[in-house]
Amino acid sequence: MVDFTKIQDSIPYILSGIPILFQVVLVAAACGMIIGIVIAALKITKSRLLRFIGHAYTAIFRGTPLILQLAIIHFGLPQITGYVTSGYESAIIAFSLNSGAYISEIIRAGIQAVDKGQWEAADALGIPYMKQLRSIILPQAFKNILPAIMNEMITLTKESALVSTVGVLDVMRRAQVVGGEKALYFEPLLFAGLVYFVLVMVLTLIGQRVEKAMRKSG
């Protein structure tokens, strides 16, 4: 039988995993953004080597499971570096690197979706490359990029549950702890699911608003 009153007193405990969830998502999104911009820049340069590096980076991080990347960073790397990272640190590193790969693809696609006539017009006016990118191309690419970045935030929010595998007490992990203590798994897990669902819905709504605003600025 399902009986949520049995976990009533544990609900605040589970909810207090939300701040750590936000921390992981926000820090990883910010770092992922920086990495994404750098990798996207590599992908659109004229240098073959730099382009290769950019594409190889993306291929590796998109081509392997995130939980494996997290495990390698948390359990594997200390064996080589001799430096043990906390679960939180490992999670931030793994999520940032992984998110950077996806964001770089979003930015690259956004830039390349801008009409090539825009580059040519800027070229013809003698505008230097970096100024073209900053003032002419990126403001137009932004419209394609921002809604996709919102999607990436949603993905990150859900994937953040993987930090439970390296001992970070997030919503997911706390639900498991409650389950273990009370020998009662269905209710706490379902409640955790509700927490993620609500967060994702809120982000989705924000995303829709953003998309609408972008379209309006036509």
Among 118, 144, 151, 176, binds other proteins (CB under 8 A): 118
Site size toward other proteins (CB under 8 A) is 18
The CB-of-34 to other proteins minimum distance in angstroms stands at 24
Interacting positions 130-149 with other proteins (CB under 8 A)? 131, 135-136, 139-140
The verdict on 218 binding other proteins (CB under 8 A) reads yes
In the complex with other proteins, the residue whose CB is nearer, 62 or 134, is 134
Selected from 120, 181, 197, 208, the binder of other proteins by CB under 8 A is 120
Stretch that binds other proteins, among 2-10, 69-77, 116-124, 153-161 (CB under 8 A): 116-124
Specify the stretch interacting with other proteins by CB under 8 A; choose among 1-9, 15-23, 105-113, 119-127. Answer: 119-127
Q: What is the 3-state secondary structure (H, E, C) of the chain?
A: CCCHHHHHHHHHHHHCCHHHHHHHHHHHHHHHHHHHHHHHHHHCCCCHHHHHHHHHHHHHHHHCCHHHHHHHHHHHHHHHHCCCCCHHHHHHHHHHHHHHHHHHHHHHHHHHCCCHHHHHHHHHCCCCHHHHHHHHHHHHHHHHHHHHHHHHHHHHHHHHHHHHHHCCCCHHHHHHHHHHHHCCCHHHHHHHHHHHHHHHHHHHHHHHHHHHHHHHCC
121 binds other proteins (CB under 8 A): yes
Four-CA torsion 90, 93, 97, 100, nearest 10 degrees: 130
- What stretch of H or E contains 58? helix 48-63
Tell the smallest beta-carbon distance from residue 107 to other proteins (Å).
17
Q: How far is the CB of 5 from other proteins (least distance, A)?
A: 56
Stretches 65-73, 76-84, 129-137, 165-173: which one binds other proteins (CB under 8 A)? 129-137
Residues that bind other proteins (CB under 8 A): 115, 117-118, 120-121, 123-128, 131, 135-136, 139-140, 217-218
